[in-house]
Amino acid sequence: MRIQDRKDPGMDPATSTDIWAVAQSPLLWICALLVFAVIGVQSWIYVRAAKRAGEGIGMSTEDLSRAFRSGAVASIGPSLAVLLVAIALLTLFGTPAVLIRIGLIGSAATETASATVAAGTMGASLGGEGWTQQVFVVAFTAMCISGGAWLVGTLILTPILKRGGSTLQKVNPAAMALIPGAALLGAFAILTMNELPKSGVHVVAVLVSAAAMAVMLFIAERFKANWLKEWALGIAIMVALAVSYFAHNGA
């Protein structure tokens, strides 16, 4: 509950709303590029490890490369959406902060909400009244600590869960054959179901996307068009978004 002092809009970080002067700092750029470099290194190590393991279990390098390519192609559609939203956030946070927060765990929705809440504790609103350099730095710090909590949670919980999984695997291998698939279906069924009550257009988006995928998978199976299995997700997303666009504006 602070009343913004507006008498000196000059260089004082407590009043200056020139976020970009701070947000384009070279230090932030270095951190952003380092984060991306580490993600690249991790993927490189994982690919090598997977290829070596593939030899041992009789899975060809060809199949593994195909899996890599499928994943890359499948992620193009979802990436486009992430990019659009990330670009929209640039005015609020500047380029490197967006790269760090959208590049790592967290979504546009999470980060926007976190920044709003953090700014609120200083009596400011996101991108609006009182969104000064000082508020930006405090909000960005809170967002980074909050994002870090997921990493800490993962680092602590994964070894514990792994032990549980290994025990279950020994005691009851049939359960471990069933659980990953069931968990996957459970997660996506409920994530999807959660979209339905939001609006009629959400229902349309889900149904069109599901129908497009069903048709494409049928065609892929029928005509042995395996490439379609890779592109189907991207196409389904675009078709669903196009229909949603008209439903949104027509309704």
Q: Within 10 A of 214 (CB to CB), how many other CB atoms are there?
A: 12
- Site residues for other proteins, 59-98, by CB under 8 A, read 59, 63-88, 90-91, 95-98
Phi-psi region of 60 (alpha: psi -120 to 50; beta: other; left: phi over 0): beta
- Site residues for other proteins, 140-159, by CB under 8 A, read 140-155, 157-159
Residue closer to other proteins (CB basis): 4 or 95: 95
Residues present in the chain in total = 251
* Number of residues lying near other proteins (CB under 8 A): 161
Contact flag: residue 225 with other proteins (CB under 8 A): no
Among 4, 18, 134, 219, binds other proteins (CB under 8 A): 134
- Site residues for other proteins, 96-115, by CB under 8 A, read 96-100, 102-108, 110, 113-114
Contact flag: residue 121 with other proteins (CB under 8 A): yes
Contact flag: residue 126 with other proteins (CB under 8 A): no
Whose tokens are 């260089």? That residue is 11
Residues 6+ apart with CB under 8 A from 74: 230, 233, 234
Residue type, 204: V
Contact flag: residue 219 with other proteins (CB under 8 A): no
For 165-201, letters b (16+ CB in 10 Å) and e give eeeeeeeeeeeeeeeeeeeeeeeeeeeeeeeeeeeeb
Contact flag: residue 202 with other proteins (CB under 8 A): yes
Residue closer to other proteins (CB basis): 107 or 125: 107
DSSP structure class, residue 126: T
Contact flag: residue 186 with other proteins (CB under 8 A): yes
Q: Could you tell me the smallest distance in angstroms from the CB atom of residue 171 to other proteins?
A: 11
Among 5, 128, 129, 161, binds other proteins (CB under 8 A): 161
- Site residues for other proteins, 226-245, by CB under 8 A, read 226, 229-230, 232-233, 236-237, 240-241, 244-245
Residue type, 152: V
Q: Could you tell me the smallest distance in angstroms from the CB atom of residue 127 to other proteins?
A: 14
Q: Could you tell me the smallest distance in angstroms from the CB atom of residue 66 to other proteins?
A: 6
Q: Could you tell me the smallest distance in angstroms from the CB atom of residue 130 to other proteins?
A: 13
C-alpha to C-alpha distance for 34 and 53, rounded to whole angstroms: 28
In degrees, to the nearest 5, what angle opens at C-alpha 171 toward C-alphas 167 and 176?
75
Residue closer to other proteins (CB basis): 8 or 46: 46
DSSP structure class, residue 123: T
Is 137 exposed, middle or buried (CB count within 10 Å of its CB: 0-12, 13-18, 19+)?
middle
- Site residues for other proteins, 4-63, by CB under 8 A, read 13-14, 22, 25, 27-28, 31-32, 34-36, 38-43, 45-47, 49-50, 52-59, 63
Which of 103, 110, 138 minimizes the C-alpha distance to 2? Answer: 138
